[in-house]
Amino acid sequence: MTRFDLGYVAGTLPLLWDGMQTTLLLTVVSLVGGLAFGMLLAVLRLSRVKPIALAAASYVNLIRALPLLLLIFWFYFLVPLWLGRPVGGFTSALIGFVLFEAAYFCEIIRSGIQSVRRGQIMAGLGTGLTYAQTMRAIVLPQALRNMLPLLLTESINLFKGTALVYVVGVRDFLTAASIIGTRDNTLVPMYCLVALVYFSLCLAASLSVGRLQRRYAL
């Protein structure tokens, strides 16, 4: 029961691959959505209009104080209520992840922008560039370089975090393995396999982030 049987594992691969596709889809869509909303939040947090900056900051701090699991439950119940129809765990989890990750991306983007010295903006403006040109040509390229490693690390965290959709029964990689393991009484090899796959993917990703960081560090 606990022994690794390669033939058996090979037979479960199609189902596991289905699960992995869900995991990847969830990761990529949450990443894009989270980055877009996070960028908006960062701009709002840096706004000179105090109430806007305060509202964005409160949102970010509230989300960061909560466990992701609680937020997943929140949206699992709230999204169907909002839309007035059942939407399934995947859509709810997706919305939850976008709103959750946006708060973390916001902080990374904000610190990236703030890491560029104010003098550079003034110098840009002083040489006759417009504000938009200064941002595009001077501030953002440097800010992006500074925040890129953190953004990538957070993306890896997001990839690992998507395993939590297990609690609302979305068939991601972990849930698929869990279903197969329960069906065939093979939880031990299944969970070991899941751990191994996650470990290899995340290790490879974090090693390349490290290499990238050393190459592009300012």
Q: Is 37 in the site for another protein (CB under 8 A)?
A: no
Read off φ and ψ for residue 3, nearest 5 degrees.
-85, 150
Closest to another protein by CB, 67 vs 126, is 67
Measured from the CB of residue 62, what is the shortest distance to another protein in angstroms?
7
- How many amino acids of this chain bind another protein (CB under 8 A)? 37
Measured from the CB of residue 163, what is the shortest distance to another protein in angstroms?
4
Q: Is 145 in the site for another protein (CB under 8 A)?
A: no
Q: How would you class 156 by CB atoms within 10 Å of its CB: exposed for 0-12, middle for 13-18, buried for 19 or more?
A: middle
With CB under 8 A as the contact rule, which of the stretches 11-19, 115-123, 136-144, 197-205 interacts with another protein?
A: 197-205
Chain residues 45-104 in contact with another protein, contact rule CB under 8 A: 62, 65-70, 73-74, 77-78, 81-82, 84
Contact pick of 123, 188, 212, 217 for another protein (by CB under 8 A): 188
41 HSE (CA, 13 A, CB side): 27
Whether 106 and 60 have beta carbons less than 8 Å apart is answered as yes
Token pair recorded at residue 38? 């996070």
Sign of CA dihedral 144, 149, 154, 159: positive
Closest to another protein by CB, 133 vs 206, is 206
Closest to another protein by CB, 67 vs 86, is 67
Q: Fill in the DSSP letter of residue 168.
A: G
Residue 77 CA to residue 95 CA, distance in Å, equals 12
* List of residues contacting another protein (CB under 8 A): 1-2, 62, 65-70, 73-74, 77-78, 81-82, 84, 150, 153, 160-161, 163-164, 166-167, 174, 178, 187-188, 191-192, 194-195, 198-199, 202-203, 206
